[in-house]
A and B are shown apart, each in its own frame.
Chain A
Amino acid sequence: MDVMLSASSLIDGFGTALTPLNLLWAATGVLLGTAIGVLPGIGPAMAVALLLPVTYGLDPTAAFIMFAGIYYGGMFGGSTTSILLNTPGESAAVIAAIEGNPMAKSGRGSQALAAAAVGHFAGGMIGTTLLVVLAPTVADLAVDIGAPDYFAIMVLAFIAVTSVLGSSRVRGFASLLIGLTIGLVGLDQMTGQQRLTFGSLQLSDGIDVVIVAVGLFAIGEALWVAAHLRRGGQGAIPVGRPWLGRDELRRTWKPWLRGPVIGFPFGAIPAGGAEIPTFLSYITEKRLSKNKHEFGKGAIEGVAGPESAASASAAGTLVSMLTLGLPTTAVAAVMLAAFQQYGIQPGPLLFEREPELVWGLIASLFVGMVMLLVLNLPLAPVWSKLLRVPRPYLYAGILFFAAVGAYAVGGEAIDLVILLIIGLIGLMMRRYGLPVLPAIIGVILGPNAEQQLRRALQISDGHVTGLVDTPFAVTVYAIIVVLLAWPWLKRLLPGARRRERVEDGG
């Protein structure tokens, strides 16, 4: 029943996505996303943050169609960089470099790029199909969940991004708290009380999420690179038109199909997006491959599987983002900020209130994927030229567009100063190993979580038990406890130590 309904809504969505103007936005998004993703040092999150101001003048549907293209384009562009340059900037593309770069060095760059492109296409198609099937169901289930459940999910998101990712929990929590503090600035949403504004009129509106995102991702990154700019640089490996032979196809089709199975569920949970699933997919392909000896020296399965997993995890991310308003990756966090910019609150009601927007967005994901494949295969040699852009221009350009974006938010010069301060915080975080994702999740979800908390306690008349009076909330808190206790639990598991060593070697 649900599936039939989804199918007809999706057809309506294609009606929205396939209008000439929206096709144009999708194409613009894909091209911009790929170009910016290919540029070294710019990952999908920074790409989306930098391109936010471009969409200010657009209506929401067009803006999100463009975003979808930027997201997928950025991911594809990122893997091109890691295959041809071998020093990936974003974690999800690390795996692509392990096998893709040796392939490129041994003259098989065209095949590596093709395996990655088709992997993205397959993963994206399968992932988005799963999104179509699952999202309305999840939204239906989520309609019944109340403030205590929401609060529990948000706490889970906070704990998960700080505990699952990164090498140090205390640094993860430090980052989260910095984000929560920034989120506190401004008028209290329920009482209008000024918080951390120090009497400044400017701060009483709060610090715009776009400024925080651009500051942490773009300015922070540009300054950090400036402090450690690689002189001389490495040459990108020149590459021809991507193609795959019969033998390669025989080796890649299974990894392409297996990737989404791993990628999609990981995208939907707050575990840092594509980082873990690409790694797991890589391990799986290595274990299943008949050509184990090639791994580490350019095994095409090691490009195909993880890339497909990465793309499917992006689709999984959208399930939580659209149905629960829960961002699980930095890109989703920035997209959520963009939704809020338009006064739209993603959540279970989004599918009812904004069907045109949601289904148009989902349909345009399919459209964008086809465009990616059609455009990127022939354009790969052009994209690879972008890798040669002189670094001073590249990072000056990032600062320039970050400034445009921050100024466009409110047209006030003081925003630029705030942007720089947040950028310096981002610089410090990169220097001392504080992960950026918890901070951005804290800024975006913090105010929301506080509202849910207060609403929940209002309902229960101030009794803390009101936070745990549903089975759902209890389950979520149980997961949180396991996550928090995991380092100690892990030691109790038999053979845990040994497995760790094997994985470290892999």
Chain B
Amino acid sequence: MSTPETPPPADAAATPPPPAERPTGLRAYSELGVSALLLAVGALVLADAVTMDTVASVRGPVGPRTVPLVVGIALLLVAVLLAVDVLRGGRGEAEGGEDIDLSEPGDWRTVALLAGVFLAFAALIDPLGFPLSGALLFWGSAYALGSRTHTLTRDPLIAAGLSVVTYVVFHTLLGVQLPGGPLMGVV
């Protein structure tokens, strides 16, 4: 809540030293990765704008290139400013929340597992249909998130129930098309 009062980055040098238990070495500067990403995106936007084929009829003095050029340059600028801020000790504040415990290091294995489950769902939704792939998505996500006691009993039942109910509600009540897949073809 101290947001409006917190000093802006220009004051970075004047901010009190950060708490001592922060990670050191390379990890402390992982935020430079954000900078690198902004730099890359900026370069991409600029490259796309410059190579743009402007033979297409340009109505008005500002063509389709102008805004991408501005955005691209701004991205490069912000990437540099962010890098300077990080090197001077500025750190983005990780977001808190109801279920978030920031005292533990990040559990990136779970995140990778979830992303994998999600990609599998994207690959399976067309061949298997929504009810089956959706159930797999829920079950796999719950497993990845640490649901272990009911892996083969309650979890799959909830997953199947949720998936089928969602399919029926969307398909019949709300008129939103979801693929039924071979399973629904049989039923």
Contact = CB atoms under 8 A, between A and B. Distances in A.
Given A53-B170, A168-B9, A223-B115, A173 B100 contact: no
Interface class of chain A by DSSP: helix
Interface in A183-226: 184, 188, 190-196, 198, 219, 221-226
Contact of A276 (B4, B56, B147): B4
A253 interface: no
Nearest to A425: B37
A402 to B, nearest CB: 9
A461 B147 CA distance: 63
Contacts of B78: 170, 173-174, 177
Contacts of A487: 7-8, 10-11
Given A41-B99, A190-B60, A453-B67, A403 B94 contact: no
A404 interface: yes
Contacts of B21: none
A177 B71 contact: yes
B134 interface: yes
B132 to A, nearest CB: 13
Contact of A420 (B98, B122, B125, B166): B122
Contact of B34 (A390, A396, A408, A432): A432
Most buried by A among B56, B57, B64: B64
Interface string A422-456: 00100110111110000000000000001001110
A26 B162 CA distance: 24
Interface residues of A, number: 97
A457 B118 contact: no
Given A41-B99, A504-B2, A226 B92 contact: no
Interface stretch (A88-96, A104-112, A285-293): A88-96
Given A174-B34, A392-B146, A88 B98 contact: yes
B59 A458 contact: yes
A170 B9 contact: yes
A261 interface: no
A180 B45 CA distance: 11
A191 B58 contact: yes
Given A169-B9, A191-B59, A226-B111, A87 B125 contact: no
A399 interface: yes
Given A89-B99, A228-B100, A430-B94, 7 more contacts: A223-B114, A223-B115, A390-B147, A424-B115, A453-B62, A454-B60, A457-B60
Lowest 10 A-B CB distances belong to which pairs?
A433-B92, A462-B61, A57-B175, A396-B141, A392-B147, A416-B122, A392-B145, A458-B60, A40-B98, A188-B64
Interface of B: 1-11, 31, 34, 37-38, 41, 44-45, 48-49, 52-54, 56-64, 66-68, 71, 74-75, 78-79, 81-82, 85, 90-102, 104, 106-108, 110-111, 114-115, 118-119, 121-123, 125-126, 130, 134, 137-139, 141-147, 158, 162-163, 166, 170, 173-179
Interface of A: 40-41, 53-54, 56-58, 81, 85, 87-89, 91, 94-95, 164-171, 173-174, 177-178, 180-181, 184, 188, 190-196, 198, 219, 221-231, 233, 275-276, 279, 390-397, 399-401, 403-404, 407-408, 411, 413-414, 416-417, 420, 424, 427-428, 430-434, 450, 453-455, 457-458, 461-462, 487-488, 500, 503-504
